[in-house]
Amino acid sequence: MLIAMPSMNTPAFAQAVIYVCAHTADGAMGIVVNRPLASPSFEDILEQLEVVPRPPVRRIELFRGGPVDAARGFVLHTADWTGDNSLLVDDGVALTASLDVLKAIAEGCGPKSGLLALGYAGWGPGQLDQELQENAWLHVPAQLDLIFDPDHETKWRRAMAVLKIDPLLLSGTAGHA
């Protein structure tokens, strides 16, 4: 997971916590996990996509997953459920961009935990590596309880606490030896 440094002032990423789904020589992709959306609602999305049942038996929260392709939806979820189009990111987390996961959730099945992200955070080849070298991000091992925890207001600070860092004590500049 990436944690935005306190000096990050880009609106899409200020105090962001991002679950990295892919990081290769071709670039990187992740989902911001602490930017919930008030609208549209899960029900609105299901109606747009003509997914039944309405109202759904279960709901998941919607998030602004990042500034790239904001009209596209991704369900980041626990790997206890996967469909044909799911990407197993690691042992505990999967990413699905097809309707089957939304149908399963609406029917009361599907993964134990998940979030529906509209858009994603994306980096071109070498871009994330460069930003890491420039100290724009801290990184921590992913933690399911942090990814899917509904307390979004404190998620950034709690992610910092995993590293035992008080963000108020961090400097906006850094050097390299």
Distances (CA, A) of 94 to 73, 78, 84, 115, 144: 14, 6, 12, 11, 11
- Contact predicate 104/114, CB 8 Å: no
pLDDT at site 30: 98
- The 10 Å Cβ neighbour count of residue 46 is 22
Please state the domain extents for the chain. 2-169
The pTM score is 0.91
pLDDT on residue 167: 72
Query: Are 75 and 97 contacting, i.e. CB atoms less than 8 angstroms apart?
Result: yes
Q: pLDDT tens, position by position, for the chain (177 residues)?
A: 999 999 999 999 999 999 999 999 999 999 999 999 999 999 999 999 999 877 889 999 999 999 999 989 999 999 999 998 999 999 899 999 999 999 999 999 999 999 999 999 999 999 999 999 999 999 999 999 999 999 999 999 999 999 988 776 665 555 555
- What was the pLDDT predicted at 103? 94
Tokens (6 digits) for 77: 């979820």
CA dist., res. 125 & res. 23, Å (int): 9
Residue 146: the pLDDT is 94
The identity of residue 3, as a single letter, is: I
* pLDDT for res 166: 73
3 state DSSP class of 106? helix
Intra-chain end-to-end CA distance of the chain, in Å: 25
Architecture of domain 2-169: 3-Layer(aba) Sandwich (3.40)
Q: What is the pLDDT of residue 153?
A: 92
* CA–CA separation, 152 and 36 (whole Å): 7
